[in-house]
Amino acid sequence: MSTPHQSLQRTEATARRDLLEVEHYDVALDLTGEDTFASTTTIDLSSRGGSTFLDLKPTAVASVRLDGRELDVDLLERGRFPLDLSEGRHRLEVVATMPFRNDGEGLHLHVDPADGRRYVYGMSFMDAAPTIFACFDQPDLKAPYTFHVRAPHEWTVVGNAPGEQVEPGVWEFATTPPLSTYFVTLVAGPYHLIHDEHDGIPLGLSARQSLAGALEADAEELLTVTKACFDEFHRLFGIRYPFGNYHQAFVPEFNAGAMENPGCVTFRDPLVFSSRVTRGVRIQRATTVAHEMAHQWFGNIVTPQWWDDLWLNESFAEYMGNRVTADVTEFSDAWTHNAYRRRQWGLNADQRPSTHPVAGNGAVDATAALQDFDGISYAKGSSILKQLNARMGDDVFFAGTIDHFDRHRFGNATMHDLFDSWTRAGAQGLDDFTSAWLRTAGPDVLAWDRASGTVLRTPPAEHPAERTHAFRAAVARHDAWELTPVTVSAPATPFVPEADAVVLDPYEETWAATTIDDASLRALTTLLPTTEDAALRAGAWNSVRTGFALGQVHPDRVVALASATVPTETNDDALATVVPWILRTVVGLSPRPHEVLQSLHLATVERVETAPAGSTLQLAAFQSAIASSADPEHVRAWLAGQVPTGIELDVDLRWALHVRLAALGSTTKEELDAALADEPTARSRVEHARAVASLPHAWAKQWAWERFTGAADVPNYELEAAGLGMWRAGQEELTEPYVAQFFDALPTLPQVHSGWVLGTAIRSFFPFTSCTQETVDRAHALASQDLDPTVRRNLVDHTYDLECRLATRRLVEGGSSA
């Protein structure tokens, strides 16, 4: 086990920024090694005189020289090398050996199981850059970079700036504009490349050779979206993309959806579709492409000074990505997709004890800041920016953002800087808005009380605020919907429609946790199947999901609504989000889980049969039918090829069937191993891990557990899949012994996993099926101890979720009627 590195404190960052100006990085990497690579960094800087430290996380250090003078390499401790700098200019030269990693951070090395080829990419985000090159790792010490790379001759190397191969295996890159350390990347390997150009901007796509055919098939769609978004961002901002080439690299085992590195954006390569996918998945990819393009302005031209303003990156990119995708691409229903995929993510995060303001989130260090890349910074922030845009209007909104970009070009800024720009552009009343919406955590709960004829507004007790909500309510009378404007500015607002059902804010015009009354919920079982407005259906489901999370809706009522609506559902996002949520969260809390599961399964099968053959709607329904099936013989028949017309068994569907058979205890490890041998792809390897961990056998749970403890060292995707497969409803007798082991392991888990993967390990292995007061009490007792911030945040979040499940179980056991 290793000693965890120190995470940069905000106070330390401020002191270092006051001391230093970094003028240039020159980085030379030799990527021809097996497990490590050589890294030589030369940093030109100016100092005001004083003591500070360099960030460096190597496997070995050969030398550190300051102005030509050798320093003692043994001074390096926990990722920091101390420096005493006189006033004036200095040159630092560091020669080190760095580790190739398999956790999606630093310089990640992947060996493709399909063909044995090696691939590398850089992820410098949040404490990871110092495992690639020596640096001053904080967002407000920007500098230009010049890279020199030696790589195997058959490799191509792409970076933040245009580069060329000057001799076999030797690559030289142009100097970048000033970049924060966390933007620096290289993508190197025998990647399949596609080149294009638009409006003077060289475009590129790349993916592993085993995905070459899939990338070629997807290239037209990807490039069409990219070009349309560039045109729209140029129109809206009036500032051209300033980073030269725009390469989009689809890389293996990437933790996030994507990373906005200037000149070379990296994406997780499951976004290159080697199997058929739903329309919703295509929308997700398009919005991700647009999101990362928005970052080229919000984040890359102007970067937050510190992580407490990370919303200046993510909330804006989320809002602009959805908006531009909906406005200028074929995916005009992007906001409906957002309602199904992102709204609850944000609301759930905002209702947990770990909630934080959108802005000024109190990020005391980089590790704490990493926890705030969550549904609040993305989904909630986006929703509030949408409200702010509606309040200002486009003219003021974009005039202010353009002023912000111009004033702080290639520099750093704060929220106050942006709001000053908006004020100069003509915005008024921003202080009150900022206080109520951006600086106060937690959502108001909005509920229509049918008996009193009022909309009740309940702010979170821990975070009171006076917020006015303006939205449309959908009111159903005699099987027809009407929209009624509502303004809620008091704890109780009169609202007395004659209605069979009322859905508050179905179009997400405010940020609030809206619930639904019991009579409306009953009426939805007949209303929603004939409702053609997809956004209204999404809003109704979000009210149901919120009500269930708050312990107000019986699980059987949820399944009854789904069983009634799935057979006529026309949006595959509904099937691909609502059904998995019900299977994972709702069914196990029903007093009759087998019956409600069968009801839901029959509804999905009906939709498979009635959906247009070959449609993505049919595909989504079939995926749901697989996941909800309790009949191993039926699943085996599908696996043998006895599938409905329009369904083709590709690698994703075959593994979905294998995983389901595993969860049902109707396959063996030998059969799963044989399936992996037949299709030895990266995707297969991940799904194989999920399937093995899902088997209802003690050895399978131990197999999964070894990945959590680090006894078996596996890449990040396989670690996550093993955890999600391990904890299966109905297998509690096998998993219950691991509950105590899970909590016992948490205090020292940062010595096994780090960074992003530490959070992934805790989330995927959290014992969510152990829905008992004893488990909750054990979690609370541990949370009171001194824990790593990542461990504490994930423990607190998932304990709260478990408490909500326990409250619903008690509601059911108490005899609440469905």
Same domain, 102 and 232: yes
Nearest to 325 by CA among 435, 456, 232: 232
Residue 787 lies inside a defined structural domain of this protein: no
3-state percent breakdown (helix, strand, coil) of the chain, nearest 5: 45, 20, 30
How sure is the predictor about 3, in pLDDT bands with cuts at 50, 70 and 90? low
Residue 450 lies inside a defined structural domain of this protein: yes
What φ, ψ does residue 296 adopt, rounded to 5°?
Answer: -60, -25
**Active-site hit among 292, 314, 687, 718:** 292
pLDDT at 363: 72
CA angle 519/521/522 to nearest 5° reads 65
Q: Provide the 10 A C-beta neighbour count for residue 594.
A: 11
pLDDT at 372: 80
Arithmetic mean of pLDDT, 529-536: 96
Nearest to 686 by CA among 707, 650, 716: 716
Q: Give bridge partners of residue 188 from the DSSP assignment.
A: 120, 157
Is the pLDDT at 366 greater than 90? The verdict is no
Q: Tell me the CATH number at 384.
A: 1.10.390.10
Nearest to 542 by CA among 493, 588, 504, 599: 504
Distance CA 733, CA 417 (A): 56
CA angle 661/662/668 to nearest 5° reads 105
Say which residue the tokens 């510190």 belong to: 306
The two beta strands, 264-268 and 186-189, are unpaired
Same domain, 457 and 472: yes
pTM for the model stands at 0.97
Q: Give bridge partners of residue 251 from the DSSP assignment.
A: 268
Distance CA 361, CA 373 (A): 11
**Cβ(310)–Cβ(373) under 8 Å?**
yes
Same domain, 235 and 112: yes
Distance CA 482, CA 475 (A): 5
Distance CA 661, CA 677 (A): 18
Same domain, 123 and 213: yes
Please name the amino acid found at residue 768: F
Question: 736 an active-site residue?
Answer: no
Distance CA 816, CA 555 (A): 10
> Across the chain, what does the average pLDDT equal?
96
Arithmetic mean of pLDDT, 579-584: 97
Same domain, 349 and 468: no
**pLDDT tens digits, one per residue of 86-135:** 999 999 999 999 999 999 999 999 999 999 999 999 999 989 999 999 99
- Name the DSSP class of 649: -
Domain boundary at 377, 403, 438, which? 438
- SS3 category, 165: strand
Sort 526 into a burial class: Cβ within 10 Å, 0-12 / 13-18 / 19+.
Answer: middle
Same domain, 51 and 131: yes
Is the pLDDT at 486 greater than 60? The verdict is yes
How sure is the predictor about 365, in pLDDT bands with cuts at 50, 70 and 90? confident
The DSSP-derived string for 577-598 is HHHHHIIIIIGGGSSSHHHHHH
The DSSP-derived string for 175-194 is PPSPB-GGG--EEEES-EEE
- SS3 category, 324: helix
Arithmetic mean of pLDDT, 365-378: 84
Same domain, 278 and 420: no
pLDDT at 776: 97
Is the pLDDT at 300 greater than 70? The verdict is yes
**Cβ(538)–Cβ(574) under 8 Å?**
yes
**pLDDT tens digits, one per residue of 401-427:** 999 999 999 999 999 999 999 999 999
Same domain, 473 and 377: no
Nearest to 401 by CA among 418, 377, 384: 418
pLDDT at 1: 41
Same domain, 265 and 330: no
**pLDDT tens digits, one per residue of 727-760:** 999 999 999 999 999 999 999 999 999 889 999 9
Q: How many helices (H) and strands (E) does the chain have?
A: 28, 28
Distance CA 536, CA 553 (A): 20
Say which residue the tokens 């508050």 belong to: 504
Residue 683 lies inside a defined structural domain of this protein: no
Residue 197 lies inside a defined structural domain of this protein: yes
Q: Provide the 10 A C-beta neighbour count for residue 638.
A: 23
Stated as kind and residue range, the H or E segment containing 572 is helix 572-581
Residue 528 lies inside a defined structural domain of this protein: yes
Q: What Å distances lie between residue 207 and 214, 218, 810, CA to CA?
A: 9, 11, 50
- SS3 category, 187: strand
Range of 461's domain?
444-510+515-538
Same domain, 362 and 433: yes
Arithmetic mean of pLDDT, 635-655: 97
Domain boundary at 414, 438, 462, which? 438
pLDDT at 4: 65
**Cβ(78)–Cβ(5) under 8 Å?**
yes
Distance CA 520, CA 554 (A): 14
pLDDT at 818: 62
How sure is the predictor about 816, in pLDDT bands with cuts at 50, 70 and 90? low
What b/e readout covers 253-291, taking b as 16+ CB neighbours within 10 angstroms?
bbbeebbbbbbbbbbbbbbbbbbebbbbbbbbbbbbbbb
Please name the amino acid found at residue 369: A
Q: What Å distances lie between residue 454 and 175, 457, 504, CA to CA?
A: 62, 9, 12
**pLDDT tens digits, one per residue of 128-171:** 999 999 999 999 999 999 999 999 999 999 999 999 999 999 99
Say which residue the tokens 């796509």 belong to: 205
Residue 490 lies inside a defined structural domain of this protein: yes
Distance CA 26, CA 44 (A): 9
**The residue count for the chain:** 818
Distance CA 593, CA 467 (A): 40
Q: Tell me the CATH number at 204.
A: 2.60.40.1730
Same domain, 270 and 340: no
Cα 18–chain centre separation: 33
Stated as kind and residue range, the H or E segment containing 348 is helix 343-351
Is the pLDDT at 653 greater than 70? The verdict is yes
The two beta strands, 60-66 and 411-413, are unpaired
**pLDDT tens digits, one per residue of 683-738:** 999 999 999 999 999 999 999 999 999 999 999 999 999 999 999 999 999 999 99
The two beta strands, 501-504 and 469-477, are antiparallel
Distance CA 807, CA 748 (A): 30
Distance CA 216, CA 219 (A): 5
- SS3 category, 30: strand
The two beta strands, 258-259 and 264-268, are antiparallel
Taking the C-alpha atoms of 718, 720, 726 and 728 in order, what is their torsion angle to the nearest 10 degrees?
A: -130
The two beta strands, 163-167 and 50-55, are unpaired
- Name the DSSP class of 298: B
Number of domains in the chain: 3
Is the pLDDT at 7 greater than 90? The verdict is no
pLDDT at 75: 98
Residue 41 lies inside a defined structural domain of this protein: yes
Is the pLDDT at 462 greater than 90? The verdict is yes
Residue 283 lies inside a defined structural domain of this protein: yes
Same domain, 244 and 377: no
Say which residue the tokens 């959908």 belong to: 474
Q: Where are the beta strands (DSSP E) in 75-162?
A: 80-85, 88-101, 106-111, 118-123, 145-150, 156-159
Domain boundary at 382, 416, 438, which? 438
pLDDT at 370: 76
